[in-house]
Structure 1
């Protein structure tokens, strides 16, 4: 009896083990049929109408439509911009948005089109505006800065700092947010501040508006891309191409164009100072 009981217990354990293994295989099979998950980081800041800290804006609408079109699930993670780029370089995330082109950023991730990014696959176009205190004589003629009596401020890690340095001015990139730049500007610690076009509109129409003004010519206008990790592009090149191709198709599609038309005028696109 004791031997028979022991044998039955052993048989029951084996059956349970097989059942657990089958359950695990079934769960794996279900997961295999699930849409691929792509982790994307973005700057923890409000850059309207493109994106907000809590995951709203046209960048998210565009990517959600891309996900629906291609059967991809995007996992969005907000963080400071420098950390986002560092995470991408370490392949800790699959991509970052929205990223303007800089040659050295190709060490961090891949642009659609590589060394010469395909502008047709951009997420959007934005510009940098120079803001000064009202009454200041700082000027920009499209080629050179004039009457600069101090540093020009820019946000930490932003590509416009390269342009400013090429213009032979002192650059202060010790601020993470555009409103921090304006406070430093009004405190006399900066001669002017270079901010994104949508940020410029927000600042000029907000509480600081009566004390600041924008120079009429933009510093630069540039496209912004979805930058994908080296690991994703190397291991799944077809998936990377699908995503970039879908960004172009969705951005040109009627559904997204309607969203953009209703949102972009609020940021002053085409009417920015």
Structure 2
């Protein structure tokens, strides 16, 4: 279902299909499934402001993490906010780059991944080595943290959805779950039966990448969107953050 997010002149504005994740990530993206909450999240507000400044007409669809990547790869999505950079994704998505690396000046935010275990678990993590667990570490299909775990020599068991993985962890079907902190926090909501191990596995910058097809056709629009989100990010987050309890 497509939801109009910017009321602009159809004749003048460039249409942009924005595909958001279908899981809530407070305070950046709110609402689960097809619907956004009101307010919709700091990143959504930031992209809306940038779109208005760049004369872009937004249409948004919500999809699962894996389907988002497929849509970006095929060009069925023009842009997907809140994606971290990886060389694999850069083969089909355009990121703001500088000296061959993603440029953190144009990030939407910075987020952390952590290991989650049952309270009282013997699992230990010292920042370099994970020990005391059986089987494989749970994670979500399509998440970049799977690559980080592979580099640590940790085998993963993929599932679709944070709620599914948390249920597996509670039931003892997995001993450890590697997940993005903001996504887990949105679902735990005071449930102290599961805890995060510190330090974080990895901290990553998250961007607004565009499909290669859109970037080739509307290169100036892409640059405008990146410039506008970077220029407005700090002020908007500071001003609107309290509305999200942030």
TM-score (norm 1): 0.79
Q: Is residue 2:97 matched to residue 1:113?
A: yes
Mark the runs of 5 or more structure 2 residues left unpaired by the alignment.
Answer: 1-8
Name the counterpart of 1:97. 81
Aligned partners of 2:46 and 2:236 also within 8 Å: no
Q: Give CA deviations for 1:62-103 in whole Å, capped at 9, x if unaligned.
A: 111112222222111111221121111111221111100111
Rounded Cα–Cα distance in structure 2 between residues aligned with 1:257 and 1:36: 29
Partner Cα distance (1:31, 1:219) in 2: 45
Aligned pair 1:225/2:207, yes or no?
A: yes
Aligned partner of 1:45 among 3, 12, 23:
23
1:74 partner SS: strand
Task: Note if 1:163 corresponds to 2:163.
Answer: no
Aligned partners of 1:189, 1:180: CA distance in 2, in Å? Answer: 11
Spell out the pairing of 1:142-221 with structure 2 (5 A cutoff): 142-174=127-159, 176-206=160-190, 209-221=191-203
State the shift of 1:219 in Å. 0.9
Q: Which residue of 1 aligns with 2:225?
A: 243
- In the other structure, the counterpart of 1:68 is 52
Once residues 194 and 83 of structure 1 are traced to their aligned partners in structure 2, the CA distance between those partners, rounded to angstroms, is 20
Aligned length: 231
Aligned residue among 224, 233, 238 for 1:257: 238
Partner of 1:134: 119
* CA contact 1:85–1:108 (8 Å) conserved in 2: no
More helix by share: 1
> Which segments of 5 or more consecutive residues in structure 1 lack a partner in the other structure?
1-29, 266-273
Kept in 2: contact 1:132–1:193 (CA 8 A)? yes
Contact 2:97–2:103 (Cα < 8 Å) also in 1: yes
Shift of 1:204: 4.0
How many angstroms apart in 1 are the aligned matches of 2:129 and 2:242? 34
Is 1:123 matched with 2:108? yes
TM-score w.r.t. structure 2 length? 0.87
Q: Give the CA deviation at 1:229.
A: 1.0
CA distance in 1 between counterparts of 2:41 and 2:91 reads: 28
